[in-house]
Amino acid sequence: MNTSFIWVVMLFIIMPGIPAGSSRCHTCEMDKFDQYKMFRQNQILNDLLKKLELAAKPNVTIDYDNLPPIGRQNPRIRALIEQTIREKKRSKRSLPSLDMDMSHLYETDSQTVPTSTFFVAEPAPWPVGEAIDISIFRLNKSLRRKYIYTATLHVYMKRPIILRLSEQPVTLNVYQRYMNGSIGDKLATKYLTEDLDDKRIIAPISVKLDGQDFQTWLEEQERHGREPVVALYAEVMYDGENLVYQPRDGSATNQYLEFEIFDMPGRSRRSTPNVCHAGQNETKCCLYDLIIDFEKVGWEFVIAPKRYNAYICNGDCNAQSQGMPLVSTHGSMTAKTQTDFFQCCHPKDYTGVTIVYVTESNQIWVKEVPGMVARKCGCA
């Protein structure tokens, strides 16, 4: 059989529907690029199933209100799962999902660890601070660019003036409060039994709050051009008396907020990829967004992340578009054919993703899956 004929057949199979003399990127048009992205997404999902060692997509239902303590020793995985739970809560309340870059949590080469920051309560301006129990926290504007992993309110409790029982079950409630004295949403409740006859003047109590509430407030305040200030009201009621020390009572018993935060986007080992955007009339080999949304494709068995950016490479790799000298000596036609067809725009650097998922037998796994995120494109 004629060798050149074999080459033509092979080229036709690899690049169907592309004229032999074409030097134009065959997927640069928007409609073809969308088809290519869908094709690539299916490739990625099939590859992911194999790497998770799953024969097929598990058909399971996940109770996000009763998840076991998965990977709690790893703060990055804890934060990844916590973000999923927050999104589920927002969905139940018919709130829009937050458009946040979580790649610093799911990409496996991220070495991000949370840092802690503290904010001490201030009394409200006179006469409000004397009239009502309220704690003012002036947060830092930089928190708007952080991911609040955990939020903890620390308060101190005093002995009641009139003591009826020594061992007494009490309830700590935390509310949002407004400067006009009205009380907003309840943010947390903690049940505890304290020795109210303890000779200590003060007893420290800590209660976990939802970091998502603070991020929502910060976003709203930024949107309306306001300072990042949060007002809270903490109470432990006993016989009509609030046992929680207030900011006006002095610094020794003052309340304070503790946040554990991640930087956003938190890429300490590499810079954010230079991403092109569809519709820019860009024809060079370039990296584009490719969001793999597990919920949209029906992959309910994936606990976290619910979506991730796999990125995709696309663009022209012929010699002229890449600034390469054209071959003009003997064999130039063969060289041009190889340039047009054998130089494809493809990923040259990958990183992995952390996937938390449940199998058909209800076993929960945390797995680092390599080669799932394109970081850099090139022609070859």
Whether 27 and 122 share a structural domain: no
Last residue of a domain, one of 229, 263, 297: 263
Write out pLDDT tens, residues 256-275.
Answer: 999 988 776 544 444 456 67
> Measuring CA to CA, how many Å separate 372 from each of 83, 328, 364?
21, 40, 20
Q: Is 49 a member of any domain?
A: yes
> If you average pLDDT over residues 353-359, what whole number do you get?
89
pLDDT of 29 over the 50 cut: yes
pLDDT at 280: 65
pLDDT value at 379 more than 80: yes
Burial class (CB in 10 A: 0-12, 13-18, 19+), 329: exposed
- Structural domain that includes position 365: 19-112+266-380
For residue 127, pLDDT beyond 90: no
Winning range, highest mean pLDDT, from 7-11, 25-29, 69-73, 74-78: 74-78
Output 207 or 159, whichever has higher pLDDT.
207
Q: Is 355 in the same domain as 277? A: yes
Q: Is 333 a residue whose pLDDT tops 80? A: no
**Number of folded domains that form the chain:** 2
Does residue 85 sit in the same domain as residue 163?
Answer: no
pLDDT at site 363:
79
Residue 204 located in a structural domain: yes
- Whether 7 is in a domain gets the answer no
pLDDT score of 329: 38
How sure is the predictor about 97, in pLDDT bands with cuts at 50, 70 and 90?
low
What is the arithmetic mean of pLDDT over 287-308? Answer: 93
Does any domain span residue 91?
A: yes
**Mean pLDDT across 18-37:** 63
Phi-psi region of 181 (alpha: psi -120 to 50; beta: other; left: phi over 0): left
Asked if 241 and 307 sit in the same domain, the reply is no
Distance, in Å, from the CA atom of 305 to the CA atom of 85, rounded to the nearest integer, reads 10
What is the model's pTM?
0.57
Looking at the domain assignment, is residue 157 inside a domain?
yes
pLDDT at 18 over 60: no
Q: Tell me whether residue 13 is in a domain.
A: no
Reduced to 3 DSSP states, what percent helix, strand and coil does the chain have, rounded to the nearest 5?
25, 35, 40
In this structure, the strands spanning 135-138 and 115-120 are: unpaired
Average pLDDT of the chain, as a whole number: 77
Strands 275-276 and 286-288: parallel
pLDDT of residue 290: 94
Residue of 328 and 76 predicted with greater confidence: 76
202, part of any domain: yes
Whether residue 237 is found in the same domain as residue 158: yes
Q: Are residues 252 and 278 in the same domain?
A: no
Top-confidence residue, 295 or 88: 295
174 and 51 belong to one structural domain: no
Tell me which of 228, 263, 298 is where a domain ends: 263
pLDDT at 197: 61
> Does residue 137 sit in the same domain as residue 229?
yes
> Is there a domain that residue 4 lies in?
no
| SS3 at position 221 | helix
Lowest mean pLDDT of 104-113, 171-180, 333-342, name the range.
333-342
Percent of the chain scoring above 90 in pLDDT: 31
Question: In the prediction, which pLDDT does 78 show?
Answer: 80
| Predicted confidence (pLDDT) per residue in 228-247, tens digit | 999 999 999 988 889 999 99
pLDDT at 4: 40
**Tokens matching residue 376:** 């850099």
- 67 vs 354, which has greater pLDDT? 354
Can you give the CATH number for the domain in which 321 is found? 2.10.90.10
